[in-house]
Each structure stands twice: as C-alpha cells, then as structure tokens.
Structure 1
Amino acid sequence: MSARAYLARARLVPVVTIDDAARAADLSCALGDAGIRCAEVTLRTPAAWDAITEMVAVADETGVDVGVGTVLSADEVTRAHAAGAHFIVSPGFDPATVARAHDLGLACLPGVATASEAMAAQRAGCDTVKVFPAGLLGGVDYIDALSAPLVDLGFVPSGGVNPTTAAGYLAHRAVPAVSGSWMVRRDDIAKGRFDTIRAASFEAAALVGLA
C-alpha cells in the first residue's frame, strides 16, 4: 500500500512524545479504543525506542500501527524497521533516509517546507509529504498553493494542527490525513491520564471521520 493510501485510511496521525516506556501500552490502548489506527512516536526522548517496542508488542490487540518520528538518518530507518514500525516520519527531506525506507518497504513521510523540497521528494519516489510547520507556513492556503502544480502529491499538515483547523485541512483534496498531538499531550501521558487521552482521542476520531 502506498503511503498516501495508508494515510487516507488512517486520517489522523497522533504525534507522541513519551518519557516513560511503561506508559506506552496503556497509551496504545486508549488510542485504539477510540478507533485511531496509528501513532507516530517521536525520537525526542530517551524512552522512545523502548516505547516503540512496547506499542508494537500490543499492536495486534489495540489495532494501532506504530510509526517512528523525528527520523534523521538511514540507520534510524533500519532500526525502526527492525522494531516493527509500519512507517517513518522525518522533519525534513533526506534522500538517503527516503531510499532506505523504500528499500525496506516502509511507508515514508518526509517533511517539506518549499516547492523545491516537495519536488525532490516526489522524484525520490514519495507520493505524500509532511508540510512542516504547517501553521507557520500558511496553513490550508499554503497547501493549496503547493498542491496546485504538484497535483499527484499528497500533503499531510503537521505543526499547529488542532481541533479548530483539522477539518479544514482534511477538506482539501490533496490532504489524506493530518498530524497532531492535541489528543496525546505529553503531560497527560507522563501522569497516566489515560481517561483524558481516551476522551480526547474519541473526539479527535469523530472530528476526522473515524467514528
């Protein structure tokens, strides 16, 4: 399945920053209970790789595919694949990282901020890119401008996406999914507030048409 087709089914990619891997399985359960189908675990904390392992271990039970975010190198792509990740996300476009993901059969979502980067990603075989930071770049209007000449490319906004903006993004023909962290706040995860996360995830799933 192409990255764009996969993301069109997912609709929403929660961005998880986790400080304690012991919280990971409960987090995955809360997301799965709400009908959310995937999560991006960012490599921003020492606990990230262990959390990815824990979430992959319960993925069949929760129904939540695990992706690895903040991927900066081909070596990290290799490690993500070995850990059982379904996809990788990068803050920018790096040809070696994209090539390694494609070699391993992983869906790959590189970040772009310009038309030149989007074109380079498309030439490297990507059918979808992450627009980051979407809010600062101009939101839906910016994606509309980028997608006008790049009609075959999908765009996933990330950065500043929230319940107020998500539906507007998803209404755009070039946006298969949105990426955001409002339903998985770092402090809520750290303090084990999974009822809060579950409730926010149900609301987010309904907002993007998963419920």
Structure 2
Amino acid sequence: MADKTEKLLSVLKLQPVVPVLIIDDAATAVPLARALVAGGLKAIEITLRTPAALDAIRLVANEVEGAVAGAGTILNAAQFDQAVEAGSQFIVSPGTTQELLDAASASSVPLLPGAATASEVMALREEGYQVLKFFPAEQAGGASYLKALSSPLAGTLFCPTGGISLANARDYLSLPNVICVGGSWVAPKELVAKGDWAGITKLAAEAAGLKG
C-alpha cells in the first residue's frame, strides 16, 4: 500500500490543479491533453461518464508525451479493470465500495477514493488510504469543512473536487491537508467545441500557477 500511496502522491504533486474532463468525442482527447500539458497540467483525469471515455484514455496514454492519464467516476471493479487496461495510471472514484477496494488492492495502479464525511475518511484510513478525494467539495461543506477535519484526522491528504473554480481554488490549496484540487474549468466545453487549444493552454497555465 505504501508503494501505491507514493505513486499516487507523485502524480498529484505534479500540479496544483488536476483537470477533470468529460470527453464526448475521442477525437478531441489528444489535442485537448496536449493543450493541458503545454500549460503545465500533466496529470489528467478523464471521467467514465461518456461512451468515448475509454478510447480517450487510451489515446492520451499512448499519444500525448508528458501526460499522465487517469480515469475518474469509477464506480465498480469492472470499470476499474477497463480503465487500467486502457492505460490509466491512476483511478479516481466519487465514493467507495468494498468491491472497488478489492479491485484496487489487486492492482498496482493507485486509487484515489472519494469521501465526504469523517466516518468515510476513518473507514478508508483503516484500509490504509492516506490520500483521498473530497467530493463533492463545495456541496459537502467547502474549504472550511475540510479545514475542520485537518486536526482530528491529521495525516490524511485530500484532493477536493466538485464546484471548484479559479475563484475558490486558493481557499482549498492554502489548507495543510490539501495536496491539489480537481477542476473542470480549465477545459470549458465551448473552447473544446471550437478547438481553441491555445485558449485551454492559457487556462491551464493560469491554473498551474496557483499556489496556496
């Protein structure tokens, strides 16, 4: 477990913001990922919310130099295995089930499991997890809630995702228990639709420059 924790930390420490992408057309995956990498965002989470997701992960993993492709919205063991087979180097889930934990323990690819309450965090700590996704961040209580967890649950690091934007990202990144944040604002649908990759690189560079 320690090895997988270190592997996950090495990915999440690459940048302050991990792009969370919903890709409708796999043909946009490579230019989009290249634009994000050019702006300094190498770790990229592609969510399994569309039929194109697995193909998009495969393309990014195989064709985008410097990119670290990950899969998000993983809900069960079958999706976990499919995402790993497609080339995912890290797996992200909105919550956790025993089935998902079992799949993760059998794999060398690290899991960033989702938690929203102190009890969920404690249960995952018992399973050996030190790095968690806090989701949905804004709806579950925001930065002030996460700050309140930092003392009683010291030693646990979070990647908050959900409702985070350029406007509030620093509120999270300034917390001692936050390693990075996840956000979709760096790849707006309208820019992807227009193929405005330079615009996305600019947003990525802005996000990459965020500090706590």
> Into which bin does the TM-score normalised by the smaller protein fall?
over 0.9
Cα contact 2:133–2:159 (8 A) shared by 1: yes
Given candidates 179, 184, 188, the residue that maps to 1:185 is 188
The answer on 1:120 being equivalent to 2:120 is: no
How far apart, CA to CA, are the structure 2 residues paired with 1:88 and 1:4? 13
Query: How many residues of Structure 1 are paired with residues of Structure 2 in the alignment?
Result: 207
Partner of 1:98: 101
Gaps of 5+ in 2: 1-5
Deviations 1:75-113 (A, max 9, x none): 111111111111111111222213322321112111111
Deviations 1:148-183 (A, max 9, x none): 211111111111111111122111110001000001
How far apart, CA to CA, are the structure 2 residues paired with 1:110 and 1:102? 12
1:84 maps to amino acid: G
The answer on 1:47 being equivalent to 2:52 is: yes
**Counterparts of 1:36-185 in structure 2 under 5 Å?**
36-59=41-64, 61=65, 63-185=66-188
The answer on 1:27 being equivalent to 2:32 is: yes
Deviations 1:99-132 (A, max 9, x none): 3223211121111111111111111221111111
How far apart, CA to CA, are the structure 1 residues paired with 2:129 and 2:105? 9
TM-superposed deviation, 1:2: 4.1
- Please tell me the root mean square deviation across aligned C-alpha atoms, in Å: 1.5
2:74 maps to amino acid: V
DSSP-derived class of the 2:71 partner:
strand
1:114 maps to amino acid: T
* TM-score (norm: length of structure 1): 0.92
Cα contact 1:67–1:87 (8 A) shared by 2: yes
How far apart, CA to CA, are the structure 1 residues paired with 2:52 and 2:87? 16
Deviations 1:34-60 (A, max 9, x none): 11121100111111111111111123x
TM-superposed deviation, 1:15: 0.2
* TM-score (norm: length of structure 2): 0.92
The percent identity for this pair of structures is 42
Cα contact 1:66–1:86 (8 A) shared by 2: yes
TM-superposed deviation, 1:5: 4.4
